[in-house]
Amino acid sequence: MFEQSLWDADDDALVGVIEERSRQEAREAAQRLAAIAELTSRRCDKEGVRAHWACDGWDSVAGEVAAALGVSPKKASSQMSLALALRHRMPKVAALFAQGKVSYRVITVINWRTHLVDSEDAMANIDAKLAERAARWEELSDYKLAQSIDYWVDRFDRDAVQRVRTTARSRDLHVGKRDDESETTAIWGRLYATDAAALDRRLMAIAETVCEDDPRTTAQRRADAMGVLTAGGDRLACSCANPDCPAAESDGRASNVVIHVVTEAAALDAAPDPQMNSKDVRTRTSPAKPAAVLIKENKIVPAPLLAELIRSGAKVREVEIPADIPESGYRPSAKLEEFIRVRDLTCRFPGCEEPAEFCDIDHTVPYPVGPTHPSNLKALCRKHY
């Protein structure tokens, strides 16, 4: 085994192996991206009007690259963009990458910090200067690396394209990733300063609509206030459990939205965890209940959180399992369609993570030869459909 060959090596030799393997990793990554760039160019460079189609050559390549790498089409598309940037915009940096003298991390940061430079002459000068220095930037932190790149962007981009456009175009709002903690989902983004100030004041105003006995911290109430806003509400239901609390009425979060979850029946009997709405950080010791899977985002929902939603007014309706006989028509019934989405969770194409809620229902064996039956139906997003 390779590991055994390292057992008798001294420390200097081990450091040498680390350095060499790092360079080899960069060289192989450069070759992978070069192959992606070539495939993308063959399919997309001469598309013409087809570039405006909903599903074009880019989507075709993204599907093949995604399947080859075992990643989502979105990640494959990102690899394609980087590959083309190395080929057409940064040939000198790409050559350095191919030699293993810069890492994939440095390459991705360079691509991001230069992607808004729209002058070919400016980009050529930036590429040359970065290629002279990038090999010495491996030890820099991400922040210092970005600052080093921005220096040359600002020097050659006379119209300040990077600064002006980044400020305006970076407005965005992201809701969670699949590897978030099961109890919560991260939200991050960038707003105009005026909108951010208004949102901050609005969240605080809603957070203060509960009584003084509410057990939640101000931060927890502000987070819950965001949920109230999405449900169209203007006040937060109090969690004090006092029967006479004037703020105990429902705030609309649990009753205004329909979600699907997959869970065992025992999870519906779980009790809310009081420490989820508390300053107390002690570990809950009550017996664990089965968790649920949130269909729209394919996320794990712990039993106490599911119980909290039910306590707040969410209605429970079981998804019916269809009869073991095919339906007569081409289009599945609403009940059969709901079952397929709950069963599949996401698009069935390899690597695709599009929630089944937004997918088409497709016959594996074309109708009418193939029956309209769960065994012959699957969820596919519009592109893979």
Q: Is residue 245 part of a domain?
A: no
**Are residue 57 and residue 103 in the same domain, yes or no?**
yes
Q: Is residue 325 part of a domain?
A: no
pLDDT the model gives residue 45 = 66
Cα angle 92, 96, 101 (rounded to 5 degrees) comes to 160
Q: Give the end of a domain, one of 106, 138, 173.
A: 173
Maximum average pLDDT range among 127-131, 230-234, 257-261: 127-131
Q: pLDDT confidence of 184, banded at 50, 70, 90?
A: confident
Average pLDDT across the chain, whole number:
80
The count of structural domains within the chain is 3
**Are residue 285 and residue 359 in the same domain, yes or no?**
no
> At what angle are helices 91-98 and 104-114 packed, to 10 degrees?
170
* Residue type at position 383: K
**Distances from the Cα of 325 to the Cαs of 52, 116, 332, 336, in angstroms?**
42, 56, 12, 11
**Are residue 362 and residue 289 in the same domain, yes or no?**
no
Maximum average pLDDT range among 117-121, 124-128, 163-167, 268-272: 124-128
Q: Is residue 39 part of a domain?
A: yes
Q: Is residue 321 part of a domain?
A: no
The single-letter DSSP state of residue 287 is P
Q: Give the end of a domain, one of 173, 195, 230.
A: 173
Residue 294: which of 385, 189, 185 has the closest Cα? 185
**Are residue 148 and residue 35 in the same domain, yes or no?**
yes
**Are residue 365 and residue 307 in the same domain, yes or no?**
no
Q: Say how many residues make up the chain.
A: 385
**Does the reported pTM lie above 0.85?**
no
**Are residue 154 and residue 281 in the same domain, yes or no?**
no
293: pLDDT strictly greater than 60: no
At 139, list the tokens. 């030890």
**Are residue 83 and residue 156 in the same domain, yes or no?**
yes
pLDDT the model gives residue 4 = 67
**Are residue 139 and residue 67 in the same domain, yes or no?**
yes
* Residue type at position 68: A
Q: Which residue has the higher pLDDT, 363 or 198?
A: 363
Q: Is residue 226 part of a domain?
A: no
pLDDT tens column, 309-365: 666 666 777 788 888 899 999 999 999 998 999 889 889 988 888 888 889 999 999
pLDDT tens column, 43-74: 886 555 454 555 577 888 888 999 899 888 88
**Are residue 282 and residue 341 in the same domain, yes or no?**
no
383: pLDDT strictly greater than 80: yes
**Are residue 304 and residue 340 in the same domain, yes or no?**
no
**Are residue 143 and residue 276 in the same domain, yes or no?**
no
**Are residue 34 and residue 122 in the same domain, yes or no?**
yes
Lowest-confidence segment of 108-122, 183-197, 254-268 by average pLDDT = 254-268
* Structural domain span for residue 339: 334-380
Q: pLDDT confidence of 99, banded at 50, 70, 90?
A: very high
Q: Which residue has the higher pLDDT, 159 or 333?
A: 333
Considering Cα of 350, then 354, then 356, then 359, what sign does the dihedral take? negative
Q: Is residue 228 part of a domain?
A: no
d(CA 60, CA 73): 10
Q: pLDDT confidence of 156, banded at 50, 70, 90?
A: confident
Side-chain half-sphere of 192: how many Cα atoms within 13 Å?
A: 4
Q: What is the DSSP string of 39-61?
A: HHHHHHTT-GGGGGSSS-HHHHH
pLDDT the model gives residue 87 = 94
Q: Which residue has the higher pLDDT, 131 or 229?
A: 131
Q: Is residue 372 part of a domain?
A: yes
3-state helix, strand, coil in the chain (%, to 5): 50, 10, 40
